[in-house]
Chain A
Amino acid sequence: MFALIGLVAGVLLGLFLHPSVPLWLQPYLPIAIVAALDAMFGGVRARLEGVFDEKTFVVSFVGNTIIAALIVFLGDQLGVGSQLSTGVVVVLGVRIFSNAAAIRRKLFGA
């Protein structure tokens, strides 16, 4: 419940405050979002399966986001940024889909 309120409040905050993203951070924003979504879906699934743990969620959220951005940064330095971004998106996308499928099974039994 708190979590949902936090999410909605965050969206509203972002929409109203319009924080401008510094230019050097812009390439990492989409990847960070995908990583954050992955952590979020993982948390929702764990909650539905009854094994949710706050500390694990926070650590995985922060860790995934930072590591995803770091990988892209490293790729940019090496000249393979777009390929590495694709790799990160594919892996996280697979995880998001599998978690979403599990959530769907828990919620709708289908």
Chain B
Amino acid sequence: MMGPVNVRDERDGPDAPDGAGRPVQGGPPGRWRRPDASMSLLSDLFEGRLADPGYAAAAARRRAAGNAPAPRRLRAVVALSLLLVGVLLAVAGAQVRRGEPVAARQRARLVDEIHSRTRETDALSRRLDRLRTETSRLRAAALARSAAGRRADRDLAAAETAAAARPAAGPALVVTLDDARRPGASGAAGDDGRVYDQDLQILVNGLWAAGATAVGINGLRLTPTSAIRTAGEAVLVDYRPLTGPYQVTALGDPGALRAGFTGSAADQRLAALRDRYGLRYGVADEGRARLPAAAPSAPRYARPAGEKE
């Protein structure tokens, strides 16, 4: 059981020669007992010494006692310790493997929750639409009882249509805009072939200018205060991310709209983008399009400081 004991290790034992700074008797020449022996991790490491000096000490002690073999009881304890190591390893491995599906399940649950919440929101907005229709029907019925009421109803209808607060339907002009196909037509960088918020803004403004009575992008109704902007790679319309192809529907007489739009600044700009960067851009008539009402936004008024509401 006992092999040759590494002489150097014995310095750490209880019977190691004491005396800092002096060469150790019997040790290899040039080796010193360090004053910093308590901070020995790195120095032990570099000298290649046993990391646990307890073994050397025990070996020295045992040699002093005359090489008595270890009792059987201790050997059993060693086996038991290693049994524990094995159990730990196996349990940790099993734990890691069990942890993976847990993470996947949690992600799936989050995705499910997102879907269910989106469905909930959709249902609520449908209910809102229904209730709003109901309200306006009741209001119209109430207003229809008097001449002043009928006049007010007409004014209200005009205002609501202008504010995109009620659904609109009719013949329309549909302008389709989409990113260039990936290998850019002119070999331009990928970013150049994308539809930016500015392009959509100019297109929408051009359609308003051509006389559109209502405009929607991908079925989302635009109000006079709608914002079209870019966030990262997505185009946000009223803070809702949209993805291409962008279908901009403009309600109004298609002939008049087309006449007003063709050759306008917006048309010229988009045609130039199509020719230069390969942006896909097309205009088509549609016999009957329907746009939903936009969510009403309460207008906010600025007032001079100090003035009461």
Residues of chain A touching chain B, judged by Cβ–Cβ distance below 8 Å, are 2-15, 18-19, 21, 26, 29-30, 32-33, 36-37, 39-40, 42-43, 45-46, 49-62, 91, 94-95, 98-99, 101-102
In the assembled complex, the Cα of A98 lies from the Cα of B290 at a distance in Å of 76
Which of chain A's residues has its CB closest to B70's CB? A54
Instruction: State the Cβ distance, B44 to closest chain A Cβ, in Å.
Output: 8
In the assembled complex, the Cα of A47 lies from the Cα of B3 at a distance in Å of 9
In the assembled complex, the Cα of A20 lies from the Cα of B231 at a distance in Å of 46
Q: Which residues of B are found within 8 Å of A5, using beta-carbon distances?
A: 79
Q: Which residues of A are found within 8 Å of B245, using beta-carbon distances?
A: none
Against A, the Cβ 8 Å flags (1 = close, 0 = not) of B82-102 are 111111111111110000000
Known: A46-B50, A54-B74. A8 touches B86 (CB 8 A): yes
Q: Which of A11, A49, A61 contacts B89 (CB 8 A)?
A: A11
Whether B88 and A29, one on each chain, are in contact in the complex, defined by CB atoms closer than 8 angstroms, is yes
Q: Which residues of A are found within 8 Å of B83, using beta-carbon distances?
A: 6-7, 9-10, 13
Instruction: State the Cβ distance, B83 to closest chain A Cβ, in Å.
Output: 4
Against A, the Cβ 8 Å flags (1 = close, 0 = not) of B45-61 are 10010111011111100
Whether B90 and A14, one on each chain, are in contact in the complex, defined by CB atoms closer than 8 angstroms, is yes
Q: Which residues of B are found within 8 Å of A13, using beta-carbon distances?
A: 83, 86-87, 90
Whether A19 and B48, one on each chain, are in contact in the complex, defined by CB atoms closer than 8 angstroms, is no
5 contacts between A and B (CB under 8 A): A6-B81, A13-B83, A29-B95, A40-B85, A56-B58
Whether B6 and A15, one on each chain, are in contact in the complex, defined by CB atoms closer than 8 angstroms, is no
In the assembled complex, the Cα of A4 lies from the Cα of B1 at a distance in Å of 17
Which of chain B's residues has its CB closest to A9's CB? B83
Q: Which residues of A are found within 8 Å of B54, using beta-carbon distances?
A: 53, 56, 59-60
Whether B58 and A55, one on each chain, are in contact in the complex, defined by CB atoms closer than 8 angstroms, is yes
Q: Which of A2, A8, A11 contacts B78 (CB 8 A)?
A: A2
- B104 within 8 A of partner (CB): no
Q: Which residues of A are found within 8 Å of B94, using beta-carbon distances?
A: 14-15, 18
Which among B45, B54, B81, B88 has the highest number of chain A CB atoms within 10 Å? B81
Whether A6 and B80, one on each chain, are in contact in the complex, defined by CB atoms closer than 8 angstroms, is yes
Against A, the Cβ 8 Å flags (1 = close, 0 = not) of B3-35 are 111100100000000000000000000000000
In the assembled complex, the Cα of A91 lies from the Cα of B79 at a distance in Å of 26
- B62 within 8 A of partner (CB): yes
Which of chain B's residues has its CB closest to A2's CB? B79
In the assembled complex, the Cα of A14 lies from the Cα of B57 at a distance in Å of 34
Instruction: State the Cβ distance, B65 to closest chain A Cβ, in Å.
Output: 12
Whether A21 and B91, one on each chain, are in contact in the complex, defined by CB atoms closer than 8 angstroms, is yes
Whether A94 and B41, one on each chain, are in contact in the complex, defined by CB atoms closer than 8 angstroms, is yes
Whether A53 and B52, one on each chain, are in contact in the complex, defined by CB atoms closer than 8 angstroms, is no
- B77 within 8 A of partner (CB): yes
- B75 within 8 A of partner (CB): yes
Q: Which residues of B are found within 8 Å of A10, using beta-carbon distances?
A: 82-90
Q: Which residues of B are found within 8 Å of A19, using beta-carbon distances?
A: 87, 91
- A6-B83, A94-B41 provided; 20 other pairs, C-beta below 8 A? A2-B76, A5-B79, A6-B80, A6-B86, A7-B85, A13-B83, A14-B86, A14-B93, A15-B94, A36-B88, A42-B50, A46-B50, A51-B2, A52-B55, A56-B54, A57-B78, A58-B78, A60-B52, A101-B48, A102-B50
Whether A29 and B91, one on each chain, are in contact in the complex, defined by CB atoms closer than 8 angstroms, is yes
Whether A42 and B4, one on each chain, are in contact in the complex, defined by CB atoms closer than 8 angstroms, is no
Instruction: State the Cβ distance, B9 to closest chain A Cβ, in Å.
Output: 7
In the assembled complex, the Cα of A47 lies from the Cα of B86 at a distance in Å of 19
Q: Which residues of B are found within 8 Å of A91, using beta-carbon distances?
A: 41
